[in-house]
């Protein structure tokens, strides 16, 4: 996996976790949901990149 893409996906997942935590702390359900969506996107993209790597070798 390209290091830049991996870092971007990990950052997206971390940002999502932060949003979810913040939303939960302040009682903002929308922010919490946005955080979960962002985490899912980061995880999905990371899985795609790992799949690409598996076929390269």
Task: Please tell me the predicted confidence (pLDDT) of residue 30.
Answer: 97
What integer pLDDT is reported at residue 57 of this predicted model?
66
What DSSP string runs through 25-49? HHT-HHHHHHHHHHHHHHHHHHHHH
| pTM tops 0.85 | no
Query: Are the beta carbons of 19 and 32 closer than 8 angstroms?
Result: yes
pLDDT at residue 2, as a whole number = 72
The pLDDT value given to residue 21: 97
For each of the chain's 57 residues, which pLDDT tens digit applies?
577 888 899 999 999 999 999 999 999 999 999 999 999 999 999 999 888 877 876
Rounded Cα distance between 33 and 21, Å, is 10
**Cβ count near 56 (within 10 Å):** 7
Taking a C-beta distance cutoff of 8 angstroms, is the pair 20, 32 a contact? Answer: yes
């Amino acid at each position: 996996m390209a290091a830049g893409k991996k870092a971007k996906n990990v950052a997206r997942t971390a940002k999502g976790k932060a949003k979810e935590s913040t939303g939960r702390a302040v009682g903002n359900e929308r922010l919490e949901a946005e955080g979960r969506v962002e985490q899912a996107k980061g995880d999905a993209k990371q899985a795609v990149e790992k799949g690409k790597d598996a076929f390269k070798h």
